[in-house]
Amino acid sequence: MLKVLKKGESPVTNLQNMNPDQPILPISTAAELLGIKPRMLRFYEERGIVAPMRSSGNRRLYSLNDLNILSYVQYLTVVKGVNVSGVLEIQRILRRMKQATREAFMKEIQKEIQLLPETAKQRYQGKLSNMESEVLEINTPDAGQIKSALGPPPVDPETLGNT
Q: Where are the domains of the chain?
A: 17-129
Please give the Cα distance from 50 to 112 (Å, whole number): 23
Q: Is 90 exposed, middle or buried (0-12, 13-18, 19+ CB in 10 A)?
A: middle
Residue 19 pLDDT level (bands cut at 50, 70, 90): confident
- Biggest CA-to-CA distance, the chain: 95
Please give the Cα distance from 71 to 66 (Å, whole number): 8
Contact present, 125 and 35 (Cβ < 8 Å): yes
Nearest Cα to Cα of residue 27 among 12, 11, 45, 15: 45
pLDDT in tens, 43-85: 999 999 999 999 999 999 999 999 999 999 999 998 889 999 9
- Compute the radius of gyration of the chain from its Cα atoms: 24
CATH of domain 17-129: 1.10.1660.10
- Say whether pLDDT at 123 is over 50: yes
Beta bridge partners of 26: 61
- Return the amino acid letter for 84: V
Q: Is the pTM of this model over 0.85?
A: no
Strands, sheet with 60-62, edge to edge from the N-terminal-most edge strand: 25-26, 60-62, 53-54
